[in-house]
Amino acid sequence: MPAPRFFCPVHPTVGTTFELPTALAHHATRVLRLKHNTPIVLFNGQQGQYNATLLLEGKKAIAHVHEFDPRNLELPGQLTLAQALVSAEKMDWIIEKAVESGVHTLVPIMAQRSVANFSAERLAKKMQHWERVIESASAQCGRNQLMQLTKPQTLANLLENSIAPAKEEPAITSTSPETNAKEAGAELTLVCHPTAQHTLRDVLGPSRSRITLLIGPEGGWSTEELAQAEKAGAEFVRFGKRVLRTETAGLAMVSAISALQNWE
């Protein structure tokens, strides 16, 4: 049975012993009821993991680090999931599964039809909660680098800061699929749309190592937002014959892209 994995935001040195943070110690000893001398794995979200032994000394939970394992389970390409904000339960699920699927960065989007609206105080608490979801999902799935999470922003803001305006660089939609796959540069932004001319397979190519997916809310992107994406040069693609829910669409596309690009 694999050793229990824990996110631990420290940088231990092989051969040293240190006391585990209170929350981690409580989870290991009170929730999982791990015993003295139990093998555990620690990761700090940067790179690699540490094989250690859990030592119990009175009320203290201590880790003795005896080996560093540099393993890295990240995808060869960089996927960004720009997900329109949905209900709290669905958002937690999306974040958890995005971690498991290998998404590099998740950008919560305050879409015009999103149901969520955060005050500054509530947003801070929500960000902390989402970070804990990421840490927990990483521990479960074996990732040693934490998925990046940005603060919620509008679609217009994301497009302005991540995609060159169409007037400076011709939109991908103006060229054929064959040309798209061969274009210089590795960045590609996709909008899943049922009436799009091209399929996901059409627009992907070996040069595409940085891909952003724009996933709308339950009510879909507004006409204004779709126009913003098109003007910014995003590529509209079809994905299957069925209509997918917002919590399904992005993750299904992530899995499909990973398969089509031979990313493991």
What are the two backbone dihedrals, phi and then psi, of residue 129, each rounded to the nearest 5 degrees?
-65, -45
What one-character DSSP code corresponds to residue 153? B
Q: Kindly tell me if the per-residue pLDDT of 239 is higher than 50.
A: yes
pLDDT in tens, 93-131: 999 999 999 999 999 999 999 876 677 788 889 999 999
Reported as type and span, the H/E element at residue 78 is: strand 78-84
Residue spans of alpha helices (H) in 113-193: 120-141, 155-162, 177-182
Strand partners, 60: 57
| CA nearest to 161, candidates 86, 242, 80 | 80
pLDDT in tens, 174-203: 344 444 433 434 589 999 888 899 999 999
Tell me what pLDDT residue 186 has: 58
Give the distance, in angstroms, between the CA of residue 184 and the centroid of all CA atoms in the same chain. 26
Tell me what pLDDT residue 184 has: 37
Tell me what pLDDT residue 187 has: 87
- Asked whether the beta carbons of 128 and 152 are under 8 A apart, the reply is no
Tell me what pLDDT residue 178 has: 41
pLDDT in tens, 130-163: 999 999 999 999 999 999 999 999 999 999 887 6
Domains, the chain, ranges and CATH? Answer: 5-69 (2.40.240.20), 78-260 (3.40.1280.10)
pLDDT in tens, 73-89: 999 999 999 999 998 89
pLDDT in tens, 205-232: 777 889 999 999 988 999 999 999 999 9
Strand partners, 43: 7
Share the mean pLDDT of the chain: 88
Q: Kindly tell me if the per-residue pLDDT of 59 is higher than 70.
A: yes
Least confident span in 164-173, 204-213, 231-240: 164-173
Q: Report how far apart the first and last C-alpha atoms of the chain are (Å, whole number).
A: 23
What distance in Å separates the CA atoms of residue 86 and residue 120, rounded to the nearest whole number?
A: 18
Tell me what pLDDT residue 194 has: 84
What distance in Å separates the CA atoms of residue 221 and residue 229, rounded to the nearest whole number?
A: 10
CA count, 13 A, side-chain hemisphere, 136? 13
